Amino acid sequence: MQVLLSGLAIGAIYGLVAMGFAIAFYVTRVINFAEGQLLMVGVMVAAWFARTGLDPWIAIVLGILAAAAVGAVTYLVAVRPVLAFDRFSFAWLVSTLGVALILENGAALVWGPTSRSFPALLTGTSVHVGSATLTLQEVVTIGVAIAAAIGFELYRRRTLFGKLGMAIAHDPEMATALGANTVLVATAAFALAGAFAGLAGVLIGPITYSNPYLGDTYGIAGFVALMIGGTSRPAAAMAGGLLLGILGEAANKLIDTQASDWFPFVVVVVMLLVLPEGLLSLAAPFRRAVRRARAPAGATG
């Protein structure tokens, strides 16, 4: 139980970062390798504002906004020109990685390469769930992550802008022919992806403190979570993150304390061999079957 809940807590962070990856990928088919660094930007900016004496809650909001803004700029500076040159090239791999380098070392330049404090708002209080104990921070993290995933799914399906995002993901050219400004939507997607990473950052900040190299660790974890969940839909990435968190904790507990370093990768390898489209691709045939079963009934009605 403790393993499960601790795993969910850390997995929620991975999941948020993975959703960031997925949201940007969903609309633009580009993986923003600076996604982990956007988490770092969220942490660093929030910590910095808090140090200047600003109310910590406002600092946290500013941190998230900063991550979103940097996300949008990343698209406009490092991705769009590349895609404009050749829609199918993989050169964005290099340019987003360049952005990651700039952000990481730029942060180290501005704020120094060492860890600094992060405003602690919720630690200290413990919550008991059955035999397990969680900090309030962890409970909030799980709650916020799941709310964010559900909120995003609802937004995607219920609002016109969300529907437009789906349309662009499916057929960008046709969406253009319907009047969609794809550049605008893609920029918004990158900003939203940045906000998700920033959110993850301010949630993990109290535990890790603010450090310019946070991006590497969480970026790669988020990416692995994305692989587990598959790229077909952003919410699946959250599921992948939660699963990765639980697997890591379980491996630490059951195998040895270093096992979380490698165990998830073994899972990913097995998965890529068996289900190259990600775990949730399992659901697709099921969904199709349901649709087929429902179709004739609907046709007569």
Q: Which residues bind other proteins (CB under 8 A)?
A: 33, 77-78, 81-82, 85-86, 89-95, 97-106, 108-109, 113, 160, 163-164, 166-167, 170-171, 173-182, 220, 224, 227, 258, 261-262, 265-266, 268-269, 272-273, 276-277, 291, 295, 298, 301
Residue 137 or 231 having the CB closest to other proteins = 231
Residue 43 or 99 having the CB closest to other proteins = 99
Other Cβ atoms less than 10 A from the Cβ of 206: the count is 19
Q: Residue 29 Cβ, how far from other proteins at the closest point, in Å?
A: 8
Q: Residue 139 Cβ, how far from other proteins at the closest point, in Å?
A: 31
| Phi, psi (degrees; rounded to nearest 5) at 134 | -125, 150
One-letter amino acid for residue 213 of the chain: Y
Measuring CA to CA, how many Å separate 92 from each of 81, 82, 98, 105, 219? 9, 6, 9, 20, 17
Q: Residue 27 Cβ, how far from other proteins at the closest point, in Å?
A: 14
Q: Residue 219 Cβ, how far from other proteins at the closest point, in Å?
A: 11
Residue 121 or 271 having the CB closest to other proteins = 271
d(CA 14, CA 46): 19
Q: Residue 136 Cβ, how far from other proteins at the closest point, in Å?
A: 33
Residue 164 or 197 having the CB closest to other proteins = 164
Residue 89 or 126 having the CB closest to other proteins = 89
Do 281 and 289 meet the contact criterion of CB atoms below 8 Å apart?
no
Find the largest Cα–Cα distance for the chain: 68
Do 32 and 98 meet the contact criterion of CB atoms below 8 Å apart?
no
d(CA 89, CA 129): 50
Q: Residue 128 Cβ, how far from other proteins at the closest point, in Å?
A: 34
Q: Residue 126 Cβ, how far from other proteins at the closest point, in Å?
A: 32
Locate 277 and state its tokens.
């489209």
Residue 149 or 164 having the CB closest to other proteins = 164
**Which residues touch 77 (CB under 8 Å, ≥6 apart)?**
99
**Which residues touch 299 (CB under 8 Å, ≥6 apart)?**
none
What's the chain's length in residues?
301
d(CA 16, CA 240): 10
Residue 122 or 253 having the CB closest to other proteins = 253
